[in-house]
Amino acid sequence: MIDGPRDRPRRLRRTPAIRRLMAETRLHPAELILPMFVREGLDAPEAISSMPGVSHHSIDGLRRAVTEAAEAGIGGVMLFGIPVSKDATGSGATDDNGILNLATRAVIEEVGESIVVQTDLCLDEFTDHGHCGVLDAEGNVDNDASLERYRDMAIAQANAGSHLLGLSGMMDGQVAVVRDALDDNGFIDTAVLGYAAKYASAFYGPFREAVQSSLQGDRRSYQLDPANRREGLREILADVDEGADVVMVKPAMSYLDVLADAAATSPVPVWAYQVSGEYSMIEAAAANGWIDRRRAIEESVLSIRRAGADAVLTYWAVELAEWLRS
């Protein structure tokens, strides 16, 4: 009989108790953030067909849903507003009585002491052309004119009570402009999340339905090229230099290398967004019986945490939190 190997890594995988003890990465409800959609003119939740299990909410329905989220122990919610009317400059985004700002006040009133209430600071839901900024005479996104709109949005959202502003527009200099606007108007404690490495991804497809996008063309002139890894880190460091309190990589699973780079370098927390396409692919495969739904959800979020994300935006936040708590 020959001697077997002395190094046997399988010893540490032998039983569920050993595997649990040896786990290098763990999930906790407080690390999960739920993106939520509130739509003007609704009286009841309305399902989003390309995102099974995700709905548009009325403000009253949103109150109930955020209460459930807070009771599940998740770390935060990220609010997206869908207005009835849109225009070229996204004027609804800075209207104190616009859907997002009304919803923010309602959510703060409902759960503002027990959960971090976050708001999407971008114009795409509010513009009739669907871009994240205002357009110039040639139809191109005007970076600096868009920053002026972001400044006004920041003040409106902070006035509504948002704890953290999610800057998702990918305009150069957006973090610095928003930080200055907040500080100049007395909102020194309102935090800024820079969607620093946001890629021009095909995985946003279902989100277009979720926000009823009016997009004409694409966003490749301002979102990152999927081919570029170093550029993602450059954007991360730029947002940190401009004063971001947290930085983000989006999407998550196809950009784990960028996420790992950011986590190894950034002095501020790094989050990742498990986007609509990632969600819908797993839901569709599970509905067809091709994969184990719960295991795929848990593995997908765990992989994002393992790559270095301090928190994960995921549409499964509440369901996953309930699994973890049970």
When mean pLDDT is compared across 127-131, 193-197, 276-280, the lowest value belongs to 127-131
Neighbour tally for 296: CB within 10 Å = 16
Instruction: Tell me how far apart the alpha carbons of residues 308 and 326 are, in angstroms, rounded to a whole number.
Output: 25
Q: Kindly report, residue by residue over 252-284, the tens digit of the pLDDT.
A: 999 999 999 999 999 999 999 999 999 999 999
Instruction: Tell me how far apart the alpha carbons of residues 86 and 99 are, in angstroms, rounded to a whole number.
Output: 12
pLDDT of 324: 97
pLDDT of 208: 81
250 in catalytic set: yes
Q: Which of 57, 105, 198, 219 is catalytic?
A: 198
Residue 213 banded pLDDT, cuts 50, 70, 90: confident
Q: Is a pLDDT exceeding 80 seen at residue 2?
A: no
pLDDT of 1: 64
What beta strand segments (E) does the chain contain?
Answer: 32-39, 46-47, 55-57, 76-82, 116-121, 164-167, 191-198, 246-250, 270-273, 311-313
pLDDT above 90: percentage of residues in the chain: 91
Q: Kindly report, residue by residue over 100-124, the tens digit of the pLDDT.
A: 999 999 999 999 999 999 999 999 9
Cβ(195)–Cβ(170) below 8 Å: yes
Instruction: Tell me how far apart the alpha carbons of residues 36 and 274 are, in angstroms, rounded to a whole number.
Output: 13
86 in catalytic set: no
Neighbour tally for 3: CB within 10 Å = 5
Judge: domain 27-325, CATH 3.30.9.90.
no
pLDDT of 36: 97
Query: Between 326 and 280, whose confidence is greater?
Result: 280
Mean pLDDT score of the chain: 95
| Averaged pLDDT, 7-15 | 94
Sign of CA dihedral 308, 311, 313, 316: positive
Q: Which of 131, 219, 250, 305 is catalytic?
A: 250
- Which residues are within 8 A (CB) of 45 and not within 5 positions of it... i.e. 6 or more apart? 55, 56, 57, 58, 61
pLDDT of 212: 80
When mean pLDDT is compared across 89-93, 210-214, 257-261, the lowest value belongs to 210-214
pLDDT of 6: 87
Q: Is a pLDDT exceeding 90 seen at residue 13?
A: yes
Q: Kindly report, residue by residue over 227-240, the tens digit of the pLDDT.
A: 999 999 999 999 99
